[in-house]
């Protein structure tokens, strides 16, 4: 019998997805602060795969931990699920491996599920990104505009002086000129050491996180995950793949990317009905990290759906410790 393709995802998956990120987050949290990035990432992968294989889906990982020959990671092209509608999956079982290893803020377990063919099949290259949260007029940001123009545009739309805008940027040498340009406007900057999915997601709730706009380059797969989250909240995002070598252009072509200079808008990175979930591994601006009690484990998760723009925040106490 041919597999069915969903016309809109079953809303039951929204809650079942929470279990997937909870399990990965708890597994990784047991190793936070231990200094072993690979071990923390591997246990998160194993836990996430186990839960995904219990879901009533025929899922294909399109944004994952690497290529097939890098197994046992959740590799691109891996099929997961117990059978059901066909879906695309983007995931990062431990977003911020270094953050977790050092027990620093904002490590997350993250996943997005969308209708088949709805997520951008992005190669593992850098992507130039710009993002803002919901509530702004369409076109408030432009990846081809200068940092000063984008900061001024957000400030105007928000109805505040430029000095009251905060930009989130990865703290990398490649961003030295960008940081200088943003600071020249008078805007503030929140520098983050790792975890640019979390950085983009923070724009969804600036009143809580203090972050209004995300700027800079980071991984393209992480850009697709972040776009999925923003689609669910009504945010805006643009991205351009940095294909700066013949090898990268050729690899992108095998994934169906024929225009290396194309600007991808959020609807092109994550189309249709999208579900997104993230559970805190370490304490952060939006989500608390996993708490281990004597007889319970507490998790904090946000789960989003694009079709309804529903944002659910779930604080769960798990008392059956054998299941973790």
| 174 annotated as ligand-binding | yes
Q: Are 282 and 107 a contacting pair, CB within 8 Å?
A: yes
CA distance 97 to 36: 9
Does the annotation list 199 as a binding residue?
no
| Residue 32 among known ligand-binding residues | no
Q: What is the 3-state secondary structure (H, E, C) of 40-107?
A: HHHHHHHHHHHHHCCCCCEEEEEECCCCHHHCCCCCCCCEECCCCCEEEEEEEEEECHHHHHHCCCCC
Residue 239's beta-bridge partner residues? 129, 264
- Where does residue 188 rank: exposed (0-12), middle (13-18), buried (19+ CB within 10 A)? middle
Q: Is 196 annotated as a binding residue?
A: yes
Residue 31 is encoded by which pair of tokens? 């190793």
Residue 172, annotated as binding a ligand: yes
The reply, when asked if residue 105 is annotated as ligand binding, is no
283 is in an annotated binding site: no
Check the annotation: does 126 bind a ligand.
Answer: yes
Q: Is 41 annotated for ligand binding? A: yes
Q: Is 19 assigned to a binding site?
A: no
- Alpha-carbon span 192 to 315, nearest angstrom: 25
For the CA atoms of 32, 38, 43, 45, the dihedral, rounded to the nearest 10 degrees, stands at 120
Q: Is 195 annotated as a binding residue?
A: yes
The reply to whether 117 sits in an annotated binding site is no
Does 219 show up as a binding residue in the annotation?
yes
Residue numbers in the known binding site are 41, 65, 92, 95-97, 126, 172-174, 194-196, 219, 222
Residue numbers in the known binding site for substrate are 95-97, 126, 172-174, 194-196, 219
Residue numbers in the known binding site for Mn(2+) are 41, 65, 92, 95, 222
């Amino acid at each position: 019998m041919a597999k069915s393709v969903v016309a809109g995802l079953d809303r039951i998956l929204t809650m079942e997805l929470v279990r997937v990120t909870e399990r990965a987050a708890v597994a990784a949290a047991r190793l936070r602060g231990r200094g072993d990035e690979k071990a923390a990432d591997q246990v998160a992968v194993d836990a996430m795969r186990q839960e995904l294989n219990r879901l009533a889906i025929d899922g294909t990982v399109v944004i994952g931990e690497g290529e097939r020959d890098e197994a046992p990671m959740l590799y691109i092209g891996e099929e997961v699920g117990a059978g059901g509608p066909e879906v695309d999956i983007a995931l990062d079982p431990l977003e911020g491996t270094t953050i977790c290893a050092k027990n620093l803020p904002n490590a997350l377990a993250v996943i997005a599920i969308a209708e088949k063919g709805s997520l951008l099949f992005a190669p593992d290259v850098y992507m130039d990104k710009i993002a803002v949260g919901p509530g702004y007029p369409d076109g408030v940001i432009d990846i081809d505009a200068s940092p000063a123009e984008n900061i001024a545009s957000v400030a105007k739309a928000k109805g505040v002086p430029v000095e009251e805008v905060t930009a989130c940027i990865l703290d990398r040498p490649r961003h030295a000129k960008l940081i200088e340009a943003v600071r020249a406007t008078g805007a503030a900057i929140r520098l983050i050491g790792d975890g640019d999915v979390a950085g983009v997601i923070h724009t969804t709730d600036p009143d809580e996180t203090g972050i209004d706009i995300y700027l800079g380059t980071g991984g393209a797969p992480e850009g697709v995950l972040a776009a999925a989250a923003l689609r669910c909240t009504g945010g805006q995002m643009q991205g351009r793949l940095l294909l700066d070598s013949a090898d990268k252009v050729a690899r992108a072509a095998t994934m169906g990317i024929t225009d290396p200079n194309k600007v991808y808008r959020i609807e092109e990175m994550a189309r249709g009905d999208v579900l997104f979930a993230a559970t805190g591994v370490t304490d952060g601006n939006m989500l608390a990290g996993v708490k281990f009690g004597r007889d319970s484990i507490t998790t904090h998760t946000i789960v989003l759906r694009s079709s309804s723009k529903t944002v659910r925040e779930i604080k769960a106490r798990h008392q059956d410790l054998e299941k973790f």
